[in-house]
Amino acid sequence: MTWMVSGGAGYIGSHVVRAMVAAGERVVVVDDLSTGDPQRLPDGVHLEKGSVLDADLLDRVLREHSVDGIVHIAGKKQVAESVERPLYYYRENVQGLQTLLEAAVRAGVRSFLFSSSAAVYGMPDVDLVTEETPCAPMSPYGETKLAGEWMVCAAGAANGIATACLRYFNVAGAATPELGDAGIFNLVPMVFERLSQDKAPLIFGDDYATADGTCVRDFIHVEDIASAHVAAARRLAADPSAALVLNIGRGEGVSVAEMVGIIGSVTGRADVAPQTAPRRPGDPARVVAAATRIQQELGWTARHDVREMVTSAWAGWCLRHPEPARD
């Protein structure tokens, strides 16, 4: 079957496209290239430059490429920006998804896979976050992801479309240096940037109710994210009645202090002690996935450990920043 991947030229999207092509799937990409790069795409993958808000474009692509399934990854994803520009996020993430789902229904698409986020949970006060943990998003970004899940599930049920909503936890790493994350919004690249400027990494808060006082997160390699998409896509193709909501995580917590230590070791800068900054509003003490349901439903488990994530991410950083401040 043929899959259309929205946002397929971005960081996560390009890894998903690469994994799907390697698995023998036919793929066409729609990406507005606001953060994507055509050079990330494998040879032979057709790219249509445009937005999921463009219904005419979507109708044409779905028709011309006889698309059977959609993987929707395109969207805006910066929490702080979503607080400053909530209407922009609702337009891009919710209205964009609505436009895409309407096009999918018109085209008779039978499978729809939605890129969601652990941000739907907000600040869960649990040791492991299961798919049944109540959702209480704390930002417009998280709200748009939860609203997106509702829309996907409802549209799927009403129109006979097999659906899956995949809730990513903290994504890091790269399959190759060229596919590394170019953004500096998450912990790993933020620490890389500080170290490359010969500055101490920042840890926001060291007085949480955790073993070392710093926040605990579930970090997942982007290659594992991609393989989970392949497994989910194949499940949807084989099971027309599927309606899945699944966490994608390792089920293992790593504290921010531990992660900064691993980064220091990988980069050869373990001698640079981190500095503690005030807590950031809305940061929960611990968010770690329960990763059993995805194993039960898809037979999928994460393969990569945290050090592999950091090592591969550092290779990508060095490719884009060839002259770090110190060796």
Q: Which residues are catalytic?
A: 141
Question: CB-based contacts of 26: which residues, under 8 Å, 6+ apart?
Answer: 1, 2, 3
Quick one: residue 323, left, alpha or beta (phi over 0 = left, psi -120 to 50 = alpha)?
Answer: beta
Report the amino acid identity of residue 290. A
Alpha-carbon distance of 117 to 226, in angstroms, equals: 14
Alpha-carbon distance of 260 to 172, in angstroms, equals: 13
Answer whether 126's CB lies under 8 Å from 82's CB.
no
Angle at 2 (CA atoms; ends 225, 147), nearest 5 degrees: 55
Alpha-carbon distance of 294 to 298, in angstroms, equals: 6
Residue with tokens 């896979």: 113
Alpha-carbon distance of 297 to 308, in angstroms, equals: 26
Report the amino acid identity of residue 84. E
